[in-house]
C-alpha cells in the first residue's frame, strides 16, 4: 500500500479523536491521548488534516471543518479498498488485546449457508442496520473511539 495511505490511516484516527474533546482539542490533548511516543506521527496527521481542508487551527485549538470523510476508488491508490485492508490489519494486531474485554468489545466470526437470492435481498438491509447503529452511537460528547470492521462475503 502507498506509504501516504498509512499516514492517512492514522490521520483519520486523529480525525475521530477530535470528538473526544468536543471538536476542539489542543495538540497537547491529542498527545496525551495517543501517547508522547506518537508525537511525530501526530504532527504529521494534524498537518495532513489541516492541509487537506478537513481541520483548522485557531489559537491552540484544532477544529474539524467536515464531520465525515468518504473514500472512493482513486488513481493515486488512496481508495476505500486500501483503507479496508489497513483496517483489517489493525484489527489483526489488536484482537488479542481487545477480544477478551467483553465489556467494551464484540468480536464474532461466523459462516452460514444461504440461498444466493436471499442473501442478495438482505445485504442492503444488513448495511442499513449497521450504518444506522453507527449514526445513533456517534456523539459530539464522546469518551472513546470505536472501530467497526465488518466483513460479509461469499467464502468462495
Distance in angstroms (rounded) separating the CA atoms of residues 156 and 151: 14
The vertex-74 CA angle with 30 and 10, nearest 5°, equals 15
Which residues on adjacent β-strands are paired with residue 111?
A: none
84 in Cβ contact with 152 (< 8 Å): no
What does the block give as the cell for 69? 470523510
Q: pLDDT grade, residue 56 (50/70/90)?
A: very high
pLDDT tens by residue, 35-53: 999 999 999 999 989 988 8
pLDDT in tens, 124-140: 999 999 999 999 998 87
The string of pLDDT tens digits covering residues 75-90 is 555 667 777 888 888 8
- Rounded to the nearest 10°, the torsion over CA 103, 95, 127, 124 is -130
The pTM score is: 0.70
Cα 19 to Cα 141: distance, rounded to the nearest angstrom? 6
- 62 in Cβ contact with 18 (< 8 Å): yes
Residues forming a β-bridge with 64: 55
With 0-12 / 13-18 / 19 or more C-beta atoms within 10 angstroms meaning exposed / middle / buried, residue 42 is: buried
Distance CA 115, CA 101 (A): 35
Amino acid at each position: 500500500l502507498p506509504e501516504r495511505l498509512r499516514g492517512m490511516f492514522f490521520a483519520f484516527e486523529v480525525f475521530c479523536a477530535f470528538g473526544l474533546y468536543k471538536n476542539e482539542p489542543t495538540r497537547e490533548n491529542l498527545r496525551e491521548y495517543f501517547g508522547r511516543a506518537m508525537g511525530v506521527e501526530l504532527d504529521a496527521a494534524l498537518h495532513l488534516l489541516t492541509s487537506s481542508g478537513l481541520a483548522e487551527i485557531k489559537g491552540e485549538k484544532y477544529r474539524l471543518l467536515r464531520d465525515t470523510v468518504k473514500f472512493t476508488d482513486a488513481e493515486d491508490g488512496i481508495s476505500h479498498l486500501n483503507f479496508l485492508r489497513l483496517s483489517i490489519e489493525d484489527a489483526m494486531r489488536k484482537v488479542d488485546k481487545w477480544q477478551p474485554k467483553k465489556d467494551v468489545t464484540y468480536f464474532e466470526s461466523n459462516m452460514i449457508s444461504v440461498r444466493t437470492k436471499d442473501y442478495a435481498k438482505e445485504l442492503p438491509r444488513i448495511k442499513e442496520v449497521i450504518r444506522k447503529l453507527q449514526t445513533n452511537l456517534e456523539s459530539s460528547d464522546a469518551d472513546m473511539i470505536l472501530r467497526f470492521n465488518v466483513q460479509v462475503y461469499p467464502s468462495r
